[in-house]
Structure 1
Amino acid sequence: MDIEKRFDEKIDPKNVLKIKNKELGYVMDLLDRNHDLPKDQFRLKFVISSYYSVSMVNQLKYEYDSEIKSLHVIKGNHIEKYKFLKGNLIEKKIVK
């Protein structure tokens, strides 16, 4: 089963620790690990797909994986586009 979620959030880096949503927290962690987390307030737009599949093995009830399909960090008129694969940054583009 595939679940696709779209986010368009205004983020204040001072309140990052108050984020309760696991997908949003994951994206913020990826940006922080790559030293790309902005210091000032910014807008974060991203699409994440979650994959659930029933396991045929008795040990696991289901398997879970997620993939970030698109990620944009918007700071004023400045837009940065990121691509991640398995939690690793593979491309960073300045769009505008």
Structure 2
Amino acid sequence: MSSTAVTPGPSPADAPVDFRSDTSMERILQEISPVGYRLEAMDSKIMDLSAHSKSIRADIAGFQDKTTQLDHRLTTVESRIVTLPDIDPELQFL
């Protein structure tokens, strides 16, 4: 019993495209459709990332405001420490 290799013929997807034919347009749309879905999914992810990025920027701005407020408070405390009178060394250990 001998075996012979079967070679497949050309695939319908490899056939030349006649753009005037309805079946060719259907085939083109079928091939493009998954790409369109992937583009929509990527666009959705980009929009989600953009919203997340805006949220992060708002958080950073809030942290910067808090840091500025803390810096002002620290400056105020430092200036008060500098203006405190010196403690008499004899009273220091009481």
Given the two structures, how large is their TM-score scaled by the length of structure 2? 0.20
User: Whose relative contact order is higher, 1 or 2, with alpha carbons under 8 Å and at least 6 apart?
Assistant: 1
Larger radius of gyration: 2
More strand by share: 1
Greater share of residues in helix = 2
